[in-house]
């Protein structure tokens, strides 16, 4: 199976299955002498890890990362960075009843068709367990960005819609994302979501959501026209996350309803001699190149497909069956997609930063 690596100069390759002994990744291309420790990575993994509240899967994983290579005396050496997390809570028996049946909306059937064999335990390689390694690689990418970009890059994610219930953007407060279980920047919306998601969870159902990631401090000039535009690579990065079905940058799909006047990000000279944009409908990217404004990406995440409610499916013997998944799962996977989306943004920006240095020699 190819397709397990992402990026060009900052490149990571992940391996491992949901119920194998471990998952891991190799991050290649990291410049030398960048400070990096296990604690720098662990802090981000702790945000993604399951079982933190009743709205995420009760699978108990410590998600403790080990650095196997590429770091010496607290600094990167320029050699491949090997990272490993042992799987400690694999209850394969939970999945025994889907061994020969295919969950509607999951990858079971296509994996079987394509490879003729599949590790059905917890979805094997198609499980979002793999996203832990994206978060680990993302932590390395953050270290690269913060070491090489003067002033650093701030990368933050939030959930802005659960099912049909969107936040009120006038109430946006980043500090709120740390105080509720949904990364929700609107305190009132978070309170409403709590009751709403409890109902979904108790009914054995699931619901989708929209995640937004904002990167501040991105320098002008990242992105390589024409096929490696920054927005094209961000779309690929986000679309590669499990359960993501749509990606938009800046005004995104709403831009289709705007006039040219409304959509134009007008420009003026600032007192400091720098160009000021009067709005940011472009989401910080023009012509595939970063403008220096905030880079803003949103992703639509579908509802968890493994649900208790019985759904029509077929089995490996060609019989029509009903599937109900009794294993542990998240009623809204968009919540745990937030740190993963931040990580994919970090990896994409770090890759383009190194490519920018290679071509243009820095800032």
Ligand X SMILES: Cc1cc2nc3c(=O)[nH]c(=O)nc-3n(C[C@H](O)[C@H](O)[C@H](O)COP(=O)(O)O)c2cc1C
Give the interface with ligand X as residue ranges (CB under 6 A): 57, 106-107, 123, 126-128, 131, 241-243, 302, 304-306, 329-330, 333, 336-337, 340
Whether residue 23 contacts residue 15, with contact meaning beta carbons closer than 8 Å, is answered with: yes
Q: Which has the closest alpha carbon to 293: 311, 310, 307, 281?
A: 281
Pick 98 or 353: Cβ nearer ligand X: 98
Smaller CB separation from ligand X, 98 or 289: 98
CB of 287 to ligand X, least distance (A): 30
Closest to ligand X by CB, 42 or 240: 240
- Judged by CB, which is closer to ligand X: 84, or 107? 107
Characterise 48 by phi-psi region: left (phi > 0), alpha (psi -120 to 50), beta (else).
alpha
Q: How many CB atoms lie within 10 A of CB 291?
A: 24
Task: Verify cis geometry, omega within 30 degrees of 0, for the bond prior to 77.
Answer: no
User: Which residue, 51 or 217, is less far from ligand X as judged by CB?
Assistant: 51
Nearest distance from residue 127's CB to ligand X, in Å? Answer: 6
Nearer residue to ligand X within complex by CB, 155 or 238: 238
Alpha-carbon distance 311 to 4, whole Å?
Answer: 31
Backbone angles phi, psi at 145, to 5 degrees: -60, -45
Q: Is the dihedral of CA 251, 134, 206, 245 positive or negative?
A: positive
User: Using an 8 Å Cβ cutoff, are 324 and 104 in contact?
Assistant: no
- Shortest distance in whole angstroms from residue 319 CB to ligand X: 22
CA distance 212 to 136: 20
The helix or strand, by DSSP H or E, that contains position 67, with its residue range, turns out to be strand 65-67
Closest distance between ligand X and the C-beta of residue 336, in Å?
4
Minimum CB distance to ligand X, residue 123 (Å): 6
**Closest separation in Å from C-beta 341 to ligand X:** 9
Nearest distance, CB of residue 213 and ligand X, angstroms: 13
Rg (CA), the chain: 21
Q: Considering beta carbons, is residue 282 or 337 the nearer one to ligand X?
A: 337
């Amino acid at each position: 199976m190819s397709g397990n690596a992402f990026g060009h100069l900052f490149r990571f390759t992940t391996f491992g299955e949901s119920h194998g002994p471990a998952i891991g990744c190799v991050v290649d291309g990291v410049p030398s002498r960048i400070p990096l420790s296990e604690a720098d990575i662990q802090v981000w993994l702790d945000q993604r890890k399951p079982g933190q509240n009743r709205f995420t899967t009760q699978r108990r994983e410590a998600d403790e990362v080990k650095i196997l290579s590429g770091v010496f005396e607290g600094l990167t050496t320029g050699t491949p960075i090997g990272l490993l997390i042992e799987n400690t809570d694999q209850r394969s028996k939970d999945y025994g009843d889907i061994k020969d049946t295919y969950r509607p909306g999951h990858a079971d059937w296509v994996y079987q068709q394509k490879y003729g064999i599949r590790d059905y335990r917890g979805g094997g390689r198609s499980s979002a367990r793999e996203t832990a390694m994206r978060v680990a690689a993302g932590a390395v990418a953050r270290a690269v960005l913060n070491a090489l970009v003067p002033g650093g890059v701030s990368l933050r994610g939030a959930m802005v819609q659960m099912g049909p219930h969107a936040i009120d953007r006038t109430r946006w407060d980043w500090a709120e994302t740390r105080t509720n279980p949904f990364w929700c920047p609107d305190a009132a919306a978070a309170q409403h979501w709590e009751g709403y998601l409890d109902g979904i969870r108790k009914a054995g159902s699931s619901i989708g959501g929209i995640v937004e990631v904002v990167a501040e401090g991105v320098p002008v000039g990242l992105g390589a026209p024409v096929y490696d535009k920054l927005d094209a690579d961000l779309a690929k990065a986000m679309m590669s996350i499990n359960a993501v079905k749509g990606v938009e940058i800046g005004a995104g799909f709403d831009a289709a309803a705007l006039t040219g006047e409304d959509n134009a990000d007008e420009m003026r000279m600032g007192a400091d001699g720098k160009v000021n944009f009067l709005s940011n409908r472009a989401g910080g990217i023009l012509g595939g190149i970063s403008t220096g404004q905030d880079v803003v990406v949103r992703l639509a995440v579908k509802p968890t497909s493994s649900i208790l409610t019985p759904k029509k499916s077929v089995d490996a013997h060609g019989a029509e069956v009903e599937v109900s998944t009794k294993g542990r799962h998240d009623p809204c996977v968009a919540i745990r997609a937030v740190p993963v989306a931040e990580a994919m943004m970090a990896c994409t920006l770090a890759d383009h930063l190194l490519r920018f240095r290679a071509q243009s020699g820095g800032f």
